[in-house]
Structure 1
């Protein structure tokens, strides 16, 4: 049986994306010993599968669109994008999916990195099971911060796993443009990835269950983006639901085409109207779910897989030691808002750890997150941008 090593810190952070990094940075700067746990890449979703690669894919599209509207320049940019060059720059912006630079930053600020899957085993205790089968028990004197973010939420369609659909991860890391791409959904990921891949050479068909795009924004924004997508060549269909999906294998099919999903053969999507639509790949951009199902919430009286409700200092309601920062608390699923919350949480943890005469007043008075209730800026990188 593998021996378990035990280490005590002031603060343990689970999840080393931008949110976890910012919590750890703030608590470490306050003089608290801090450990961070990560089972994938340090830097998280934003650095490798969301903000950075998606904007790298979209920047040439939007720059070309702007140039085409400028007299004196428009005729010079009429040709297609160089998809290979765009993807190469995307790889560079995603650090080729290597986290050496971010690990170096953690070392520079004095935060200990523990690689592996972290899960709570009780109050203030996190067990890390490493890729080499090692086991390390981390105990926090003051606080544990859950910063595990979200994952793509897929619909309950029979056989969907066998189809190997794209999620946001595959859509931002694919090595080539599929000849045909079906995009299911009408939210931010759907419209941004439809914009990117249509302009990189795919024929995109969008299947939107609702009446329009970007339902959380003013209707005119979705209308203008729908017009832009249609003008770019996207086959946009609203009021359509997908009832079944299958993948018909190609003769002599080989390895998947993308780093983390997709495959050879033809995807066949059938709609509620009985229409059959074929493509090489299908992207489901149908929402997000919290990555809290395997982190041991049940050991501290919370429901696995649930969003975590917090107060304005990001402390989980009903506890005096557990914090949930960023997407997992469902306040604002945006990186910049998560980093804002992380600065609040780090300061609140430090204030409470100081143990002053009125630590609760210090933590609440100076460190409370309020902008994420009603002042949440966001940009959708389409043509036009919203």
Structure 2
């Protein structure tokens, strides 16, 4: 390890929540470092909110146009998938983060690219892709904003079947003829809507009684009705027991409880999120790797007056706009306590 570089605040994770902490602490005059292992902007910018909404925009615009007198007959044709993909790629910046990195530089924040881990009290160790090691120390606060990852259940045959997660579903470049989606989450609903409209024959398999179980029942019912009207198949009360794939690119078959077989060309697992905390050094500060991180009302971790957790990792609300809100609260609290 090199000699520690000191900042007032070190933020671990450069998604929307992490960026909002940086914005608040820099506005308060605190020196701030941001550590990011992938792309600045995080899941939302490249594999979630922005690409999913870019895929959905043409779908929803066409659906609205079909309800307008005089327009319905002129918008009956299929969507141009290549044009939709180009629209998505434009809004993701073609998976390049130059603009967001330039913004960090413009406000005087320091970006460290690499894998960051807590290294005891008020310290973060960073290993860059080139193998360069840094230790960053924080006078006032370290903020964990590492987000979540897709949960892929431990089903027989699934690991070797190359299933899609939300990342593949929002960045794929080919329309599968048949898409099987397991789960009733927001990801399942959005991707079923987008890929059905792009030409896939979509089947959604839900273990529970309906889509969107975290929301009011009527919301899931309305989405299921719309998907069914669009041509998708939504099945509830079904459980997947195993997955079989004929080679790396061949058809994929799911085995349902009771032995029924369903075949598709791709399989999307949309069965939940888990915190990205398994390898960020939580054990060095007395916390459990892989767990959600509990916080108080200012997003500070109880028992650690220097440690904060914002966004998905604290499990309060797994929504980007709520993560930004938490980040602004944490940033203001850090600045006030530093003063």
TM-score range, shorter chain: over 0.9
Per-residue CA distance 1:140-179 (angstroms, 9 max, x = gap): 0110000000000111112322111100010000011111
Match of 1:141 among 130, 139, 142: 139
Whether 1:225 aligns to 2:223 is yes
Contact 1:15-1:146 within 8 A present in 2 as well: yes
The aligned residue for residue 78 of structure 1 is 76
Match of 1:51 among 49, 52, 73: 49
Match of 2:118 among 117, 120, 124: 120
Contact 1:10-1:141 within 8 A present in 2 as well: yes
The aligned residue for residue 210 of structure 2 is 212
Match of 1:295 among 267, 280, 295: 280
Look up the SS of the partner of 2:4 in the other structure: strand
Contact 1:5-1:135 within 8 A present in 2 as well: no
Residues in 2 aligned to 1:314 and 1:41: alpha-carbon distance in whole angstroms: 24
TM-score normalised by the chain length of structure 1: 0.87
Q: Which runs of structure 2 are paired with 1:224-373 in the superposition (5 Å)? A: 224-249=222-247, 263-354=248-339
Residues in 2 aligned to 1:291 and 1:217: alpha-carbon distance in whole angstroms: 24
Residues in 1 aligned to 2:3 and 2:171: alpha-carbon distance in whole angstroms: 36
Residues in 1 aligned to 2:24 and 2:159: alpha-carbon distance in whole angstroms: 40
TM-score normalised by the chain length of structure 2: 0.99
Gaps of 5+ in 2: none
Gaps of 5+ in 1: 250-262, 355-386
Per-residue CA distance 1:36-68 (angstroms, 9 max, x = gap): 000000000000000000000001101100110
Residues in 1 aligned to 2:253 and 2:278: alpha-carbon distance in whole angstroms: 31
Aligned residue-pair number: 339
Superposition deviation, residue 5 in structure 1? 4.2
Look up the SS of the partner of 1:138 in the other structure: strand
The aligned residue for residue 362 of structure 1 is none
Residues in 1 aligned to 2:140 and 2:337: alpha-carbon distance in whole angstroms: 8
Contact 1:247-1:265 within 8 A present in 2 as well: yes
Deviates more, 1:151-160 or 1:130-139: 151-160
Q: Which runs of structure 2 are paired with 1:27-176 in the superposition (5 Å)? A: 27-176=25-174
TM superposition outliers: structure 1 runs of 4+ over 4 Å: none
